[in-house]
Amino acid sequence: MYLDVDIQKTFSSANRHFELNVRFQSDSQRIVIFGPSGSGKSLTLKAIAGLIKIDQGHIRLDSRVLTDRNKKISLTPQQRNLAYLFQDYALFPHLTVRQNISFGLTKGWLNPAPKKPFAAVNYWLEAFELETLADQLPDQLSGGQRQRTALARALVAKPQALLLDEPFTALDADLRHVMRKELDQLQQQLQVPIIMITHDPEDVAIFGQHVLTIKNGRIISDDVG
């Protein structure tokens, strides 16, 4: 993967002024953006996903321009073919595990039927040992099962890259260790490029092939391991 990010965005409200000014290039398969909360790492990830619009600059992924203010290009999140793992997973609470995973495979006005079989969904249910839980709702799942469901939902559409927002903070310490290992193996097996934001040095140790440290909206160090 080749990722070229050069973005500026200013946030202003009555009691806060924040300038995001992030610039980096990477051809790594595992990019970690590391920084404390409020440093702008979450905004950077959202900008890559297209969930916030940038004021100036561009984002390119391989040969595709995701956004370029000068050329007035801005792909919608729908057009970017990226997957996003939210910090608390953002599973749809009214849909079963199976429906959650197959959610993006149908684009119409109706949710996929609870029993509708998709080969790709079955594959992920099996790979993540979720088959017996396929008909459960997200609030009946444990933390690890929720994360697996969210990962399956993210990966089932074969995204060009997987964006991860603090993926392990919602888990307790033991489970964090297990899930970290699982994601590590999964990434090596699928060779899907990941861009992870985190404040946890352990994530950096395992996933940080290319580590960018961010502070006050700027990249302050850029290490390719």
Partner 1 sequence: MMLSLDPVWPAFFLSMKVAGWATFFTLILGVSVGYFLARVNFRGRDLVDSFLTLPMVLPPTVLGYYLLVLLGREGAIGFWLQGYGISLIFTWQGAVIAATIVSFPLVFKPARAAFESVDGQLEQAARVLGLSEISLFFRVTLPLAWRGIMAGLLLAFARAMGEFGATLMIAGSIPGKTQTLSIAIYEAVQAGQDDLATLFVLITSFICIVVLLSASYLAPGRIAYRG
List residues binding partner 1 (CB under 8 A).
49-51, 76-78, 80, 82-84, 86, 88, 90, 92-94, 103-104, 107-111, 153, 157
**Smallest distance, Å, CB 98 to partner 1?**
15
In this complex, which beta carbon is closest to partner 1, that of residue 40 or of residue 138? 138
Give 108 or 201: the residue with its C-beta nearer to partner 1: 108
Closest distance to partner 1 from the beta carbon of 67 (Å) = 15
**94 or 115, CB closer to partner 1?**
94
What's the closest the beta carbon of residue 154 comes to partner 1, in angstroms? 8
The minimum distance between CB 120 and partner 1, in angstroms, equals: 14
Q: Which is nearer to partner 1, 153 or 208 (CB)?
A: 153
- Residue 99 φ then ψ, to 5°: -65, -35
Cβ-based nearer residue to partner 1, 50 or 57:
50
Rounded to the nearest whole angstrom, what is the least distance from the CB of residue 88 to partner 1 in the complex? 8
